Amino acid sequence: MQQPRQHIHRRLIVALLALSVSGSVVFADPYEDGFAAYNRGDYATALQIWRPLAEQGNALAQTALGVMYYNGKGVAKDFNEAVKWYRLAAAQGNVSAQVDLSSMYYEGEGVAEDFIRAHMWLSIAATQGNADVARMRDIVSNGMTAQQLVESKAMAAKCELSSYKQCD
């Protein structure tokens, strides 16, 4: 069982990178400065730039902080903090955060393992048209029962209809 889960986790990461590189992410100047700092390994500067943006509600910065906490780059590795930031960004419709949050549920990192919620977040992210995310959702669904799929779809609909206020 561990090998297929690792395979899906890697595919989630690849899809996230594809979202970031595909041009579908548009950077504002301060965020871009943090991105450049992060890419050159200056995590302290990236954190200094991104934290205030994230606290002001910038979904890109919130996702970036989630990545930093998930990987332990510039901060202590903390899956609970990663989930917190991913959740904030996911609730704003940020696809990368939705995919990352799905991965956290799938792996049980910072939250209880929950394939239904993992599938729910991938379903929501897939509605924005990324084929890789849709394929990941379909892979996750292969390990779920018909009842779990029905529940996931109902949860996704409730989450979207409530403008991300009723997702948990």
The pLDDT-based confidence of 9 (bands split at 50, 70, 90) is low
87 part of a folded domain: yes
133 part of a folded domain: no
Write the CATH number for 110: 1.25.40.10
Give the torsion sign (CA, 126, 154, 67, 113): negative
138 part of a folded domain: no
| Cβ neighbours of 8 (radius 10 Å) | 19
Structure tokens given for 50:
């991104």
18 part of a folded domain: yes
60 part of a folded domain: yes
pTM for the model: 0.82
122 part of a folded domain: no
153 part of a folded domain: no
Contact 125, 91 (CB under 8 A): no
Query: How many structural domains compose the chain?
Result: 1
Domain span including residue 7: 2-114
What one-character-per-residue DSSP string does 99-141 give? HHHHHHHHHTSSS---HHHHHHHHHHHHTT--HHHHHHHHHHH
Angle CA 103–101–104, to nearest 5: 45
42-98 pLDDT per residue, tens: 999 999 999 999 999 999 999 999 999 999 999 999 999 999 999 999 999 999 999
pLDDT > 70: percent of the chain: 83
- Which is nearest to 66 in space by CA: 21, 36, 37, 103? 103
CA 107 remoteness from chain centre? 13
9 against 127, higher pLDDT: 127
Q: Which residue has the tokens 């018909």?
A: 146
143 part of a folded domain: no
